[in-house]
């Protein structure tokens, strides 16, 4: 058993390291300020996802200690976010309300210190960024269970903003309520999609026959469940904790691989990172074989298509396509040149995953 003296000695060592860490972080902020001045003079953006990913990759390779990659990423993404806000605070608009999964996705990239704007619609998020009331917008693009988000595709068609990053988030639902027992729950509030994703759980615990009331957001569901006796909410862990609604069950989703992909949009384009993905919208000529010809050109160029989804926008059939590589890669440039009348470039950004 460690003596009190031994414990105090270890704490003194930790204090010394914390002091050194504080000094190092402050020195980093001084350099961030110098970089910020150069960026401001050149009109560049302080947020460079490809640069941040390169730093994390480098540190992960150098690491010989107890931290794993996930811990390094969590630690340094927060340092990066603090650095950006220290130099140039910028608003981040997201599909609200506060406590939503999109809010959670935004915080994984922009940290706790950023200024967040909860917006009630995806179009509203794009509008805030387009009018420069927000520098960044965070919106869902697809869910592993429910597919592509049509409103996001429509806005990517409508606005000339660029995708600068993607965020992949594991989606976990909780059942939160002031009721002590399941049998006391008479109604449940949530989004319709959350009810679908938790159907098997509801059946297993006997809540499939109580009243299910769809609402606009899981956060609103939490507020209703707080007010009404005998009610519950299917919501995020963050949302329940934010409003102090007791959680009865965690991780109640039917599929353990339920994931949502989010886009971060802004008004600039990324440089190459060496591990990029590009997204485009394609509207092809209305003639036989047009799609086959288009896809054959990608195959001949050795470009790996990771996603192709058809979509209808204002009566026109378009394709949302993801593929490996950066817009500035020579073999990809040839595709853009040949099909410039058909392709709308949406963005090249650091690849987080091949697909969900």
| Residue given tokens 């102090």 in the structure block | 244
What is the tens place of the pLDDT at every residue in 220-248? 999 999 999 999 999 988 889 889 999 99
**The token pair that represents 335 in the structure block:** 């595709």
238 part of a folded domain: yes
Greatest mean pLDDT among 11-15, 33-37, 175-179 lies in: 175-179
Domain count, the chain: 3
Least reliable range by pLDDT among 30-44, 57-71, 112-126, 208-222: 30-44
In this structure, what token pair is assigned to residue 298?
């990608």
pTM attached to this predicted model: 0.79
Q: What is the CATH number of the domain that holds 144?
A: 3.40.190.10
DSSP character string of 19-54: HHHHHHHHHHHHHHHHHHHHHHHHT--S--HHHHHH
**Same-domain status, 191 and 132:** no
Q: What pLDDT score does 355 carry? A: 72
Provide the 8-state DSSP code for 208. Answer: S
Share of the chain above pLDDT 70, in %: 95
In a domain, 12, yes or no: no
Regarding whether 262 and 115 lie in a shared domain, the answer is yes
CATH number of the domain to which 315 belongs: 3.30.70.260
Has residue 287 got a pLDDT over 80? no
The answer, yes or no, to whether residue 88 has pLDDT greater than 70, is: no
Neighbours of 201 (CB within 10 A): 18
Residue 22 in any domain: the answer is no
Regarding whether 264 and 276 lie in a shared domain, the answer is no
pLDDT band at 50 (very low <50, low <70, confident <90, very high): confident
Least confident of 44-48, 104-108, 290-294: 44-48
Give the structural domain span for 219.
174-249
146 and 277 fall within a common domain: no
Q: Is the pLDDT of residue 351 over 70?
A: yes
pLDDT of residue 285: 77
Same domain as 154, residue 83:
yes
Same-domain check for residues 159 and 68: yes
Q: Does residue 43 carry a pLDDT above 60? A: no
């Amino acid at each position: 058993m460690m003596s009190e003296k031994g414990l105090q000695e270890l704490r003194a060592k930790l204090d010394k390291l914390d002091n050194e860490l504080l000094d190092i972080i402050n020195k980093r902020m001084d350099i961030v300020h110098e970089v910020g001045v150069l960026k401001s003079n050149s009109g560049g953006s302080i947020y460079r996802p490809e640069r941040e990913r390169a730093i994390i990759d480098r540190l992960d390779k150098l690491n010989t200690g107890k931290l794993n990659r996930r811990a390094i990423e969590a630690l340094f993404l927060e340092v990066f976010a603090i650095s950006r806000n220290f130099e140039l605070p910028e608003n981040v608009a997201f599909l609200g309300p506060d406590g939503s999964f999109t809010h959670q996705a935004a915080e994984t990239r922009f940290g706790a210190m950023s200024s967040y704007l909860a917006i009630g619609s995806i179009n509203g998020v794009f509008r805030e960024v387009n009018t420069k009331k927000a520098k960044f917008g965070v919106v869902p693009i697809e869910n592993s269970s429910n597919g592509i988000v049509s409103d996001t595709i429509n806005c990517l068609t409508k606005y000339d903003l660029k995708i600068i990053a993607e965020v992949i988030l594991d989606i976990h639902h909780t059942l939160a309520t002031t009721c002590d027992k399941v049998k006391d729950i008479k109604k449940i509030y949530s989004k319709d999609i959350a009810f679908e994703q938790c159907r098997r759980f509801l059946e297993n615990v006997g809540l499939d026959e109580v009243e299910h009331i769809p609402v606009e957001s899981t956060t609103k569901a939490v507020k209703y469940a707080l007010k009404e006796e005998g009610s519950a909410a299917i919501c995020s862990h963050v949302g329940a904790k934010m409003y102090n609604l007791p959680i009865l069950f965690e991780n109640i989703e039917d599929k353990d691989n339920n994931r949502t992909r989010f886009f971060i949009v802004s008004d600039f384009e990324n440089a190459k990172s060496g591990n990029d993905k590009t997204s485009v919208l394609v509207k092809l000529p209305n003639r036989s074989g047009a799609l086959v010809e288009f896809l054959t050109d990608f195959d001949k160029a050795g470009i790996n298509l990771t996603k192709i989804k058809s979509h209808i926008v204002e009566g026109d059939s378009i394709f949302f396509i993801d593929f490996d590589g950066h817009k500035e890669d020579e073999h990809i440039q040839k595709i853009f040149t040949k099909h410039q009348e058909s392709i709308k470039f949406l963005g090249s950004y650091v690849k987080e995953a091949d697909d969900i």
